[in-house]
């Protein structure tokens, strides 16, 4: 089973933050998830983008910027995550945060039950750093993909897989992240090529 740092527990923390505050800032999210490792800082914004909130114009690009900042720091081996003030202060209502986490809870329970500890060598620190570099490139693909409704979901699915792999130390999810990254590149070239 997944340990106390599973997906469901990360969402519980965010839900509690939404209950405690009228507005939940990115800084509040980082603070709520900060001691849980890098994974939640990647998968939570990616899951938010995949949720209906991701349909709000500019939200996918803002989330991609936040994820990219975290990914660069992961690739560089930083232990404490930093964000500039203007990003730390971006917020959603506490009610919206609670609704989003409520919708994601069943998926989180399922993930925690079935995904953990497989192909652990693929969840090593060196592989995590390689994945972090790839995540930066995936984030760069989001703004142009945002022009097509929900097209930015493709790179965010790969990022969510990487973040989940980091959280659950699951190498199979890490492999899925690499596969989804390749699929995202193929989709991107297909869109650019017009076919």
Q: What is the DSSP string of the chain?
A: ---TTSHHHHHHHHHHHHHH-SEEEHHHHHHHHGGG-SHHHHHHHHHHHHSGGGGSTTHHHHHHHHHHHHHHHHHTT-SS----HHHHT-EEEHHHHHHHHHHHHHHHHHHHHH-SSSSGGGGSHHHHHHHHHHHHHHHHHHHHHTTSTTTTHHHHHHHHHHHHHHHHT-HHHHHHHHHHHHHHHHHHHHHHTT-
Predicted confidence (pLDDT) at residue 31 exceeds the cutoff of 80:
yes
pLDDT in tens, 52-107: 888 888 999 999 999 999 999 999 988 888 888 888 898 889 999 899 889 888 98
Report CA torsion sign: 10, 13, 15, 18: negative
Residue 118 or residue 131, greater confidence = 131
* Cα separation, 188 vs 180, whole angstroms: 12
| pLDDT confidence band for 133 (50 / 70 / 90) | very high
**pLDDT surpassing 70 at residue 193:** no
Amino acid 121: pLDDT: 86
* pLDDT for residue 140: 93
Could you tell me the residue ranges of all domains in the chain?
Answer: 7-192
If you average pLDDT over residues 139-165, what whole number do you get?
89
Higher pLDDT, 2 or 120: 120
Which pLDDT does position 24 carry in this prediction?
A: 92
pLDDT at 47: 85
Query: To the nearest whole number, what is the mean pLDDT of the chain?
Result: 86
Q: What is the pLDDT of residue 1?
A: 34
Rounded Cα distance between 134 and 162, Å, is 10
The model's pTM is 0.78
- For the residues 13-26, what does the mean pLDDT come to? 90
Whole-Å CA distances, 89 to 14, 71, 139: 16, 19, 20
């Amino acid at each position: 089973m997944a340990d106390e740092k599973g997906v469901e527990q990360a969402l519980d923390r965010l839900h509690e933050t939404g209950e405690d505050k009228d507005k939940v800032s990115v800084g509040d999210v980082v603070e709520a998830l900060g001691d849980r490792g890098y994974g939640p800082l990647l998968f939570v914004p990616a899951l938010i983008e995949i949720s209906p909130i991701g349909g709000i114009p500019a939200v996918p690009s803002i989330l991609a910027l936040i994820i990219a900042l975290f990914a660069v720091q992961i690739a560089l081996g930083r232990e404490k995550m930093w964000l500039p003030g203007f990003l730390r202060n971006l917020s959603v209502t506490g009610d919206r945060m609670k609704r989003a986490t409520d919708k994601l809870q069943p998926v989180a329970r399922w993930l925690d039950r079935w995904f953990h500890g497989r192909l652990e060598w693929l969840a090593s620190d060196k592989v995590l750093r390689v994945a972090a570099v790839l995540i930066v490139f995936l984030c760069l693909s989001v703004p142009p993909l945002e022009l097509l409704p929900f097209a930015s979901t493709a790179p965010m699915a790969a990022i969510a897989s990487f973040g989940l792999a980091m959280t659950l130390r699951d190498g199979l999810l890490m492999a899925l992240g690499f596969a989804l990254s390749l699929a995202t590149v193929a989709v991107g070239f297909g869109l650019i090529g017009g076919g």
